Amino acid sequence: MPETTTLSGAALPTAAGAPAGHTVVEPAVPLLSVDHLTVTAFSPDHDGEVTLVDDVSFHLGRGETFGIVGESGSGKSMTCRSVLGILPAGVHTAPGSAVSFDGTDLLGLSDKQWMSLRGTRIAAVFQDPGSYLNPSMTVGAQLVEVLRIKGGLKRRQARERALELFGDIGLRNPTAVFRQYPFELSGGMLQRVLIAIAISGDPDLLIADEATTALDVTVQAEVLDLLAELQERTGLALVVVSHDLAVVAQVCERVMVMQSGVVVESGPTKEVLHDPQHSYTRELMRAHAEYGLERWDEERP
C-alpha cells in the first residue's frame, strides 16, 4: 500500500484506486479537486459514445505545481478543458464526474458564471500563442483591453499595469514590445505576452497546456523558468500539460501520467522519474530528450 501524506504532513488513507507504487501526496485543503472525471463523445464510427477520459482524479493545493504527461491523444487536453469549462461541442462529462475549484462546483456553472471565473481566477495558456491574439492590434493594446474589461481598470492605469506585467514576464523593453503587432514578435515573446495576459487577473490557478511545445529547446526552457518563477513569486497553482516528461519535470512537484484516457501512474515527480512503475512511463522516459532530466536532477534538491 503506498504511503499517504498531506502537504501539511498529516497522514491520509490512501485514495481508493490510486495507482500503487508512489507516495500519495494530497493537499490538506485542495484548491482544485477533480474526482472520477469521465469525458465522453459521440463517435459516428462506433455509432455510440466513446470514452476519452476515464475516471481521472487528482487534487491540487494553492501554490502547488502539478504535471500531466502523456502522448498525443491520451486525454490531457480533455481533462484540462473540463477544468476550464471549454469542452468541444459534442464532448461532455459523464454523470459521477466532479470538478470543484475553491469549493465551487465547476461542472454546474452557467456561461455567465464561467465568464467571471475564467481569465480571472482560473487562467490558461496553450500552444500556438499567435492564434489567440488579434493580428491587427498591438500586443500592448490587447493586454490593456483585457485589463479594462476583466480588471475594470481605467485606460491610463491599464497601460501602466500592462507595462509592469510585460516587465514581470521578462520582456527586456516593455515599452517597445507594447507597440508591436503579433507578427513582429518571436514565438517565445508571443508566448510571454500570452502569459502576461493570463496572469493579468491574478489567477489562483494557471493551466499551461503544451504551452512550450512549439518553441525551440532553449526558448522552451526559458518560458518554463518564467512559469516556475511566476508560480514562486505569486503563489498561483500551476498545472503543466505536456507530451514531454522532461517539460513537466522541470517545474512540477507532482506528476500524473496518462495513457488512452486513464491515469497509469502518479506521484512526486522525483519518485516517478527515478522509479517509474509503469512500462508506459518508462517508454516516455526513453522517448524524451536526456537533457531535460539531467538538468532537473542537478537543480532539484
Ligand X SMILES: Nc1ncnc2c1ncn2[C@@H]1O[C@H](COP(=O)(O)OP(=O)(O)OP(=O)(O)O)[C@@H](O)[C@H]1O
Strand pairing partners for 33?
59, 100
Answer yes or no: are the C-beta atoms of 49 and 77 closer than 8 Å: no
We find the least distance from the C-beta atom of residue 228 to ligand X, in angstroms, to be 22
Q: Write the interaction track for ligand X spanning residues 182-221; mark x where CB under 6 A is met and - where it is not.
A: ----------------------------x-----------
Question: Cβ of residue 17: shortest distance to ligand X, in angstroms?
Answer: 21
φ, ψ for residue 34 (rounded to 5)? -115, 120
Q: Which of 23, 29, 88, 279 binds ligand X (CB under 6 A)?
A: 88
Rounded CA-CA distance 208/227 in Å is 9
Contact 256, 266 (CB under 8 A): yes
**In this complex, which beta carbon is closest to ligand X, that of residue 196 or of residue 239?**
239
- 149-188: contacts with ligand X (CB under 6 A): none
Pattern 3-42, ligand X, x by CB under 6 A:
--------------------------------------x-
Whole-number Å distance between alpha carbons of 150 and 93? 28
How many CA atoms does the CB half-sphere of 17 hold within 13 Å? 9
> Can you state the angle between helices 187-199 and 139-149, rounded to 10 degrees?
10
177/264 with CB nearer ligand X: 264
Binding to ligand X, residues 232-291 (CB under 6 A): 243
CA–CA distance, 60 with 225 (Å, rounded to integer):
21
Is the CB of 33 or the CB of 77 nearer to ligand X? 77
Q: How far is the CB of 118 from ligand X (least distance, A)?
A: 18
Q: Which residue's entry shows cell 476515464?
A: 54
Residues that bind ligand X (CB under 6 A): 41, 52, 70, 72-78, 88, 90-91, 210, 243
